[in-house]
Amino acid sequence: MDLGEISPQTLMERLTREPPKLIDVREPWEFELCRIAGAINVPLQTLPARLPELEQSHDIVVICHHGMRSLYAAEFLRDQGFSSVLNLTGGIARWGREIDPGMPQY
């Protein structure tokens, strides 16, 4: 089964060509500590209510701290009819280690 994952390196490359919509499902306090530029904060528990804000035709990458909440969110979005949804493998923590070492970690 394809889990619909994207590595930080592949996401970085995509951001320079055809940027997907970045949905960060962490809590607002986490989002304030560190985030990928251009990401919008949609805390996981608010995702169902905020579906109307998202377009099903957009490519979406879902982000959280380590990749578990975002995996759940990506599955939820696919179940709601979103066809192009990927989970950032390892979350913002892996992004910080591999792409942006100066990013604050928690």
Please identify every residue annotated as catalytic: 64
Structure tokens given for 53? 């804000």
Whats the size of the chain, residue-wise?
A: 106
- Read off the amino acid at residue 4: G
Helix axes 91-98, 8-17, angle to 10 degrees: 80
Place of tokens 């619909």: 4
Q: State the Cα–Cα distance between residues 88 and 6, nearest whole angstrom.
A: 5
